[in-house]
Amino acid sequence: MRVTTERLHLRPLRDGDETDLLDYRGRDDVNRYLESDPLTADAAPAFVAERTALTHLTRDGDRILLGVELDGRLIGDVRLKSSGTLADRQGEIGWVFHPGYAGHGYATEAARALVRLGFDELKLHRIWAQLDPRNTASARVCERLGMRREGVLREESWFKGEWADLAVYALLASEWAEM
């Protein structure tokens, strides 16, 4: 599972990624709207080991998680998770990037490659994303991908010490084909 885009190389996580991962996933600001807490040095080896084999959507709940390399450095990761059953052909997409590489379109470029993989190769029917609407940078990635904002669930969860809204964005295979 390897994908090359104009500027980036997407590939499974592997031993040795711990330092680059800690650089961004270890930060408070990066985890502000993620379910996770900042990654620690102690937890990093297990984090990598649990994710190196996430390369297929062949069973319900499977995930693909790819590290995103720029000039040989891991600057982020993107994931596509089978939601519902495989027969539903629904994929939930997500992205996490190093703030030091923000503002260049890298997240959008990597996510678009994953959307292409999801629709063109894995034959998904719908790809969707969920996010806190205050996470405007993430919402803009959805919009650049052509995803539709389908709605906002008000105070949908108790999240990191407060009630949080949840916005859902989605793109259908038929809409992707028209782009």
Ligand X SMILES: CC(C)(COP(=O)(O)OP(=O)(O)OC[C@H]1O[C@@H](n2cnc3c(N)ncnc32)[C@H](O)[C@@H]1OP(=O)(O)O)[C@@H](O)C(=O)NCCC(=O)NCCS
Interface with ligand X (CB under 6 A), residue total 20
Q: In angstroms, give the least distance from the CB of 94 to ligand X.
A: 6
Among 3, 108, 125, 175, binds ligand X (CB under 6 A): 108
Distance CA 56, CA 62 (A): 7
Residue 5 DSSP one-character state: -
73 in contact with ligand X (CB under 6 A): no
Which residue, 117 or 164, is less far from ligand X as judged by CB? 164
96 in contact with ligand X (CB under 6 A): yes
Applying CB under 6 A, the span of 39-47, 49-57, 135-143, 147-155 interacting with ligand X comes to 135-143
Applying CB under 6 A, the span of 9-17, 96-104, 146-154, 158-166 interacting with ligand X comes to 96-104
Distance CA 75, CA 8 (A): 10
Q: Report CA-CA distances (Å) from 111 to 79, 105, 129.
A: 8, 10, 11
Among 16, 72, 103, 161, binds ligand X (CB under 6 A): 103
- Judge contact between 93 and 63, C-beta under 8 A: no
Burial pattern 111-145, b for ≥16 Cβ within 10 A else e, equals bbbbbebbbeebebebbbbbbbeeeeebbebbeeb
Distance CA 154, CA 53 (A): 36
Among 21, 54, 106, 164, binds ligand X (CB under 6 A): 106
Among 10, 30, 80, 93, binds ligand X (CB under 6 A): 30
Interface residues with ligand X (CB under 6 A) are 30, 33-34, 94-97, 102-108, 131, 135, 137-138, 140-141
